[in-house]
């Protein structure tokens, strides 16, 4: 049988933190009752210490019973407390009494305590809350991922649509050149006559500067009247005008609004005559004159 001094039990109580305790004789008879909820266990322990240190109490083995709940049927942890100087015979006698009683002797003071149970519950609750927070956070992140994936899909679809609709100015220009090669020269001449006779004079100057004969003029004192040569020169005139118009529009790439407007007019025109009319209406007389000046420049 292990018996504890009062000082040793105080150390055990410091670890175990029993909320209820009482003092009993070795045969189980009550000396100090268990403290009710209204009396702190610390105060009850002080009362037990006073009784055990009192000279009125005979030397011997006593029991301090401890429990974690305030119920009569609750199992108790019983600690034999030795009071005074006891010889072997006294200890043997006390041991018999304890064996014959209902004492639940606590040989291992490391048994889990009420406070430790509460601590474990607190830790468990914290872990459950952390898990709940993590699960919520994961759900929020998964939702964000889904939203980002949907946005990415929308962007990809939008890019595909833009790619299908978007044609570069150079690509459209090539198809336009093919169609403009078939434009009748009288339509261009009619437009030029309506806009400015000075343009014809500028064309003539351009031909002279490039060393090309002008239809209807004299070459080495002889009239140049070949229809095939005249058509060739007129075709070159159209191609030259188209190239200069493309160069003029490209100069406005740093001004996206103006550039896009001009490109849309260019790409949406059926022929050169249609483009010139639309350009003048949309961009105004000043911009039209700037373009024509650029086209007629060498």
Q: Tell me the per-residue pLDDT of 252-276, one tens digit each, with 9 for 90 and over.
A: 999 999 999 999 999 998 888 889 9
CB distance 255 to 240 below 8 Å: no
Distance CA 125, CA 129 (A): 6
Find out whether 262 and 279 touch, Cβ atoms under 8 Å.
Answer: yes
Structure tokens at 121: 């519950």
Query: Do residue 175 and residue 259 come from a single domain?
Result: yes
Question: Does 102 lie in the same domain as 183?
Answer: no
The verdict on residue 233 lying in a domain is yes
- What are the residues facing 83 on neighbouring strands? 60
Give 283-291 contacts, CB < 8 A, sequence gap 24+: 290/248, 291/245, 291/248
For residue 203, being part of any structural domain is answered with yes
pLDDT at residue 222 in the model: 41
| pLDDT at res. 228 | 67
Contact 12, 79 (CB under 8 A): yes
Same domain, 32 and 57: yes
Q: Which two tokens stand for residue 256?
A: 């996206």
Q: Looking at the domain assignment, is residue 181 inside a domain?
A: yes
The whole domain housing 35 covers 6-111
Binned at pLDDT 50, 70 and 90, residue 227 comes out as low
Q: Could you tell me if residue 161 is inside a domain?
A: yes
Chain segment 12-51, per-residue pLDDT in tens = 999 999 999 999 998 899 999 999 999 999 999 999 999 9
The answer to whether 105 touches 98, Cβ cutoff 8 Å, is yes
CA pair distance 191, 43, nearest whole angstrom: 116
pLDDT at position 171: 62
Q: Over the stretch 72-110, which tens digit does the pLDDT of each residue have?
A: 889 999 999 999 887 666 666 666 666 555 455 554 444
Domain identity same for 131 and 225: no
Let me know whether 60 and 124 are in one domain. no
Number of domains in the chain: 3
| Distance in angstroms between the alpha carbons of the first and the last residue of the chain | 123
Q: Kindly state whether residues 51 and 130 are assigned to the same domain.
A: no
Percent of the chain exceeding pLDDT 90 equals 37
Residue 63 shares a structural domain with residue 80: yes
Mean pLDDT of the 205-221 span: 49
Query: In terms of Cα–Cα distance, which of 196, 203, 179, 197 is closest to 274?
Result: 179
Q: Are residues 50 and 77 in the same domain?
A: yes
pLDDT exceeds cutoff 90 at 286: yes
**Residue 1 included in any domain:** no
Domain boundary among 89, 111, 133: 111
Sign, Cα dihedral of 203, 205, 211, 214: positive
Q: What is the pLDDT of residue 271?
A: 84
Residue 60: C-alpha distances to residues 22, 52, 76, 81, 98 (Å): 17, 10, 21, 8, 12
CA 163 – CA 144 distance, rounded (Å): 28
The pLDDT of residue 255 is 94
Domain boundary among 64, 91, 111: 111
Write down which residue in 77, 92, 111 finishes a domain: 111
| Domain-located, residue 146 | yes
29 near 63, Cβ under 8 Å?
no
Tokens of residue 220, six digits: 């080495």
pLDDT of residue 186: 46
Same domain flag for 64 and 27: yes
Closest by Cα among 193, 187, 188 to 240 = 188
Residue 12 lies in a domain: yes
Residues 101 and 31 in one domain: yes
Predicted pLDDT at 84: 84
Helix (H) or strand (E) holding 178: helix 169-180
Q: What is the pLDDT of residue 42?
A: 96
What is the model's pLDDT at position 96?
A: 66
- pLDDT value for 184: 38
Looking at the domain assignment, is residue 152 inside a domain? yes
Residues 173 and 154 in one domain: no
pLDDT in tens, 119-173: 676 788 888 888 888 888 898 898 889 889 988 888 888 877 776 665 555 566 5
- Return mean pLDDT, the chain: 77
For residues 98 and 18, membership in a common domain is answered with: yes
Per-residue pLDDT of 176-185, as tens digits, reads 555 554 443 4
Please, are residues 79 and 9 in contact by the beta-carbon 8 Å criterion?
yes
């Amino acid at each position: 049988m292990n018996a504890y001094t009062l000082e040793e039990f105080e150390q055990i109580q410091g670890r175990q933190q029993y909320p209820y305790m009482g003092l009993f004789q070795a045969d189980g008879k009550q000396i100090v009752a268990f403290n009710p909820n209204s009396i702190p266990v610390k105060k009850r322990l002080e009362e037990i210490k006073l009784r055990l240190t009192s000279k009125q109490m005979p030397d011997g083995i006593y029991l301090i019973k401890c429990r974690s709940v305030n119920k009569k049927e609750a199992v108790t942890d019983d600690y034999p407390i030795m009071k005074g100087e006891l010889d072997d015979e006294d200890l043997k006698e006390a041991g018999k009494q304890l064996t014959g009683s209902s004492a639940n002797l606590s040989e291992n003071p490391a048994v889990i305590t009420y406070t430790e149970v509460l601590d474990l519950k607190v830790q468990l609750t914290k872990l459950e809350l952390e898990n709940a927070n993590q699960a919520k956070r994961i759900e929020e992140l998964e939702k964000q991922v889904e939203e980002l994936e949907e946005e990415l899909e929308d962007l990809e679809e939008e890019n595909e649509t833009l790619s299908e609709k978007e044609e570069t100015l150079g690509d459209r220009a090539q198809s336009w050149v093919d169609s403009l090669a078939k434009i009748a020269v009288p339509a261009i001449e009619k437009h030029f006559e309506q806009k400015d006779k000075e343009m014809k004079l500028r064309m003539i100057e351009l031909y002279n500067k490039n060393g090309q004969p002008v239809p209807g003029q004299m070459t080495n004192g002889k009239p140049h009247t070949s229809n095939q040569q005249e058509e060739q020169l007129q075709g070159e005139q159209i191609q030259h005008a188209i190239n200069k118009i493309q160069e003029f529009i490209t100069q406005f790439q740093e001004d996206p609004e103006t550039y896009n407007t001009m490109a849309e007019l260019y790409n949406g025109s059926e022929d050169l005559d249609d483009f010139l009319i639309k350009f003048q209406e949309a961009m105004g007389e000043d911009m039209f004159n700037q373009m024509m000046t650029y086209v007629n420049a060498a």
